[in-house]
Amino acid sequence: MIRTSRRLADGREILYFDAEDSPAPEHVAEDTRDLPPLSTHSQLRRDALLGEEVVIAAHRQSRTFLPPADQCPLCPSRPGRPTEVPESDYQVVAFENRFPSLATSVDQDVPPTAPGAPLAALRPGFGRCEVVLFTSDHDQHFAGLGHDRARLVVDVWADRTAELSRIDGVEQVFCFENSGEEIGVTLAHPHGQIYAYPFVTPRVERVLGSVRRHREGTGGDLFAEVVDAERAGPRVVAADDHWVAFVPAAARWPYEVQLFPTRRVPDLPALEDAQRDALATVYLDVLGRFAHRFDTPMPYIASWNQAPVHAGREDWWLHLQLFSLRRAPGKLKYLAGSESGMGAFITDTNPEDVAEQLRAVVVP
């Protein structure tokens, strides 16, 4: 993989990624836009009752929202129409978000606590948010990228995870994709995002707590036992020697699949070449099943669960959560009182039935 670093008009970094067998890329096009300097005023506020961080990012209200295709800011630039990518074409691109929730240049001048709440500790919203463009083709989807491009994206995820993990103060790197307006996507161009958090996220902390309690109580390895059981169980959707994709036994979402490598690694950079090749194949297979389960592609969130940068790495097992809010044709699963209010999920589908339905999908 060839990585080329450039700067946008407001000073943000943009990275071009090209396959090794590509003609030597130059990527010399300049960003001709007149952009104001990036200004981020995020804060982290600690919820004293839940013991969790909340990012306050009110400056993001003005971000771009559902522009028409001919005004997409993620497409390549063309004469008279400069975008976030100065080049006229590209393979995979990553750049600092123009409207970030977290930033390394964030305003550091914040009080120690929220107004009138001495128990709500407050600190700057330090971190980094990047956008990853999977292709220059506005009308493409990840499921249609093909193996070679999907493999390049995997390498980009690994590259960015390794680089962002080296930033002093970053505690966890999260690669994800939101797909479909029903999910809340505001830009239709095929892309994902990467957040470098200055804290360990609540989900990862909770899973690590379960892993440690299981080891203390039984002496066993919770991740390994889950993977071994699911590989031999009725909910497998796709598998090979390196990866297994299954509907979890206690799935929270109408359609949910988890992808685990069959050999423990803590994060994406730790994957070997054979694992990365196999991941591109299995992931495209599962995404294809999501795309063709109903008469229209399912909206989804693809969420990489990686080990924290420092604590708990030896206990972690890299995995992907892929889930959709769609429960039936034309029907979505809304997070209502029980889910949103109490965090107690009530599912509308049976995990074993969902696995059988996904296995039966014929992908063109």
Nearest to 173 by CA among 182, 183, 164: 164
Predicted confidence at residue 65, as pLDDT, reads 77
Judge contact between 12 and 95, C-beta under 8 A.
Answer: yes
282 — phi, psi (to 5°)? -70, -40
CA distances from 50 to 46, 119, 120, 186, 208 (A): 8, 12, 11, 30, 17
- Angle, helices 202-218 vs 222-231, to 10°: value is 90
Beta-bridge partners for 304: 320
Predicted confidence at residue 61, as pLDDT, reads 76
Is 90 exceeded by the pLDDT of residue 40?
no
Q: List, for residues 187-217, the tens digit of each pLDDT value.
A: 999 999 999 999 999 999 999 999 999 999 9
Predicted confidence at residue 162, as pLDDT, reads 98
Is 90 exceeded by the pLDDT of residue 58?
no
The two three-digit tokens of residue 358, written as one number: 């996904």
Predicted confidence at residue 22, as pLDDT, reads 87
- The burial class, CB within 10 Å (0-12 / 13-18 / 19+), for 97 is buried
39 pLDDT tier (thresholds 50, 70, 90): confident
Predicted confidence at residue 87, as pLDDT, reads 97
Predicted confidence at residue 109, as pLDDT, reads 87
Average pLDDT over all residues of the chain: 96
Provide the whole-model pTM: 0.96
Task: Please state, in angstroms and rounded to a whole number, the distance separating the CA atoms of residues 228 and 16.
Answer: 39
Average pLDDT over residues 259-272: 98
Q: List, for residues 61-105, the tens digit of each pLDDT value.
A: 777 777 898 899 999 999 999 999 999 999 999 999 999 999 999
Nearest to 86 by CA among 28, 144, 132: 28
Q: Which of 59, 138, 189, 191 is catalytic?
A: 191
Predicted confidence at residue 358, as pLDDT, reads 98
* Domains, the chain, ordered by start: 2-201 (3.30.428.10), 203-261+276-360 (3.30.428.10)
138 catalytically annotated: no
Is 90 exceeded by the pLDDT of residue 41?
no
Contacts of 286 (CB under 8 A, 6+ apart): 237, 238, 245, 257, 259, 322, 358
25 pLDDT tier (thresholds 50, 70, 90): confident
Is 80 exceeded by the pLDDT of residue 232?
yes
Average pLDDT over residues 223-236: 97
59 pLDDT tier (thresholds 50, 70, 90): confident
- Please, what sign has the CA dihedral across residues 89, 91, 95, 100? positive
CA distances from 6 to 13, 23, 236 (A): 6, 18, 43
